């Protein structure tokens, strides 16, 4: 069928997060790993393209986003969504703002919104400031993120250096008055030349109001949660055909592996909760730099086929900083990504068919190494984290691609317990 909404995500876990929430509507959702090589075919009502551009040079990120936009337009998309992390992960240069302006220019639109709120996962925006649970972003564990440390909570201040046009705010007092009041506020800002509007949201009801006010916008940007009401709104308006989802049964083998590259506070807790339940190996970037990954591959090969190994580079912020000082941020990250990707390929060759992966960069490396190009979206394990399914050769594989901060402490066990979904 013709695609109605085309989505571009800046990493792989964010893409599966968005796809999972859109799939709650019952509409068919297809997740593409990277921009497809050929013209659109077998397209879904909602197409999500997962890029790996969160920390890429700005020019590369913009180029890939433009290519994704061109493919989605060829697929027939009428609405577009630019998805980034609910903690607004970025550097001083981007890539949230530059990609937004590139998409705006490509679509010929003068204004868009920014709403990374996800109340169900403890992300809220009040007076333009982003909170993680009850902590301002700059006081949360995100302040120590190894690649994108977030030292400011104010989204307008974060966004302004990244864009060339004015930034404004539609605050919670406006949102609380309903979608008509929010539409009026956006129109007023537009008349003042404000192109980039941060919109407050502290509860799920706010997201509903924002989605209603912005449903006719050609381009919206934000976290996945603000997109979740859109399929229902469009169906009720008669714009999007309302069709039930035909669940596809996937036959996936029982053998599994957990691969964790994220160093977020929550992933640290998840690793701690799981590592005593079976064989576990912690990767040391310094040892990898000196001796390569063969030792890790040999360790994996020696594990019993009935066990679910955990292999992780997850570490406390002070240890991460020490490694980065020795090796450099880019080299340290690439060593871990390359090693976990190689371990995923080795595990698959040994018969593993279920992959639980923590961390956006790690998820990108693993899916690319496995040669996955398209995923079907299955049941959620936790809010924003669905099981995803792909064909590799003549068999199905299942992947749970978890953003570092998502899920409960028991997430790894929860994922493996959902056998009916994978």
CATH T-level assignment (fold) for domain 256-417: Molybdenum Cofactor Biosythetic Enzyme; Chain A (3.40.980)
Report the pLDDT value the prediction gives residue 377, as an integer from 0 to 100. 87
Rounded distance, CA 19 to CA 378, Å? 9
Rounded distance, CA 165 to CA 146, Å? 29
Report the pLDDT value the prediction gives residue 91, as an integer from 0 to 100. 85
Say how many Å lie between the first and final Cα of the chain, rounded. 26
Instruction: Residue 204: count other Cβ atoms within 10 Å of its Cβ.
Output: 14
Q: What are phi and psi of 208, to 5 degrees?
A: -60, -45
- pLDDT tens, N- to C-terminus, the chain (422 residues): 689 999 999 988 889 889 999 988 888 889 999 999 999 988 999 999 999 899 899 999 999 999 999 999 999 999 999 999 999 998 888 999 999 999 999 999 999 999 999 998 899 999 999 999 999 999 998 888 877 888 999 999 999 999 999 999 999 999 999 999 999 999 999 999 999 999 999 999 999 999 999 999 999 999 999 999 999 999 999 888 665 444 455 678 889 999 999 888 899 999 999 999 999 999 999 999 999 999 999 999 999 999 999 999 988 888 888 888 888 888 888 999 999 999 999 999 999 999 999 998 899 899 989 999 898 888 889 988 989 899 888 889 999 999 888 899 999 999 999 854 44
Please give the model's pTM, rounded to 2 decimal places: 0.81
Decide: 387 and 381 in contact? Cβ < 8 Å.
Answer: yes
Rounded distance, CA 303 to CA 132, Å? 38
Decide: 222 and 119 in contact? Cβ < 8 Å.
Answer: no
Rounded distance, CA 383 to CA 21, Å? 8
The half-sphere exposure of 223 on its side-chain side, counting CA atoms within 13 A, is 28
Residue that has been written with the tokens 């607004």 in this structure: 88
Yes or no: domain 5-236 corresponds to CATH 3.40.50.10840: yes
Domain ranges of the chain: 5-236, 256-417
């Amino acid at each position: 069928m013709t695609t109605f909404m085309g989505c571009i995500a800046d990493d792989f876990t964010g893409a599966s997060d968005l796809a999972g929430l859109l799939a709650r509507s019952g509409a068919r959702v297809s997740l593409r790993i990277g921009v497809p090589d050929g013209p659109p075919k077998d397209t879904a009502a909602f197409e999500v393209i997962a890029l790996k551009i969160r920390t890429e040079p700005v020019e590369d990120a913009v180029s890939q986003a433009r290519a994704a936009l061109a493919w989605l337009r060829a697929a027939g998309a009428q609405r577009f969504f630019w998805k980034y992390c609910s903690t607004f992960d970025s550097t001083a240069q981007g890539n949230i703002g530059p990609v937004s302006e590139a998409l705006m220019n490509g679509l010929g639109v003068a204004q868009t919104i920014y709403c990374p709120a996800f109340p169900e996962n403890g992300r809220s925006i009040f007076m333009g400031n982003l909170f993680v649970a009850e902590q301002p972003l700059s006081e949360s564990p995100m302040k120590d993120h190894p690649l994108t440390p977030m030292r400011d909570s104010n989204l307008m201040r974060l966004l302004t250096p990244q864009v060339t046009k004015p930034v404004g705010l539609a605050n919670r007092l406006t949102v609380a008055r309903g979608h008509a009041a929010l539409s009026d506020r956006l129109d007023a800002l537009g008349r003042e030349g404000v192109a980039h509007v941060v919109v407050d949201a502290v509860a799920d009801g706010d997201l509903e109001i924002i989605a209603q006010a912005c449903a006719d916008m050609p381009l919206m940007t934000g976290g996945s949660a603000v997109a979740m009401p859109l399929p229902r709104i469009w169906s009720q308006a008669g714009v999007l055909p309302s069709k039930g989802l035909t669940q596809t049964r996937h036959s996936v083998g029982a053998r599994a592996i957990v691969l964790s590259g994220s160093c977020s506070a929550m992933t640290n807790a998840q690793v701690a909760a799981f590592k005593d339940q079976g064989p576990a190996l912690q990767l040391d970037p310094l040892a990898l730099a000196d001796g390569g990954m063969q030792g890790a591959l040999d360790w994996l090969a020696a594990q019993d086929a009935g066990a679910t190994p955990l292999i992780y580079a997850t570490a406390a912020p002070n240890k991460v900083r020490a490694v980065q000082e020795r090796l450099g941020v880019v080299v340290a990250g690439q060593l871990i990504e390359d090693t976990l990707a190689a371990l995923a390929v080795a595990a698959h060759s040994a018969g593993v068919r279920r992959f639980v992966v923590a961390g956006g960069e790690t998820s990108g490396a693993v899916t690319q190494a496995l040669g996955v190009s398209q995923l079907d979206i299955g049941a959620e394990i936790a809010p924003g984290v669905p099981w995803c399914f792909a064909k590799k050769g003549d068999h199905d594989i299942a992947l749970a691609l978890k953003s570092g901060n998502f899920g409960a402490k028991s997430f790894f066990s929860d994922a493996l317990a959902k056998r009916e979904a994978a």
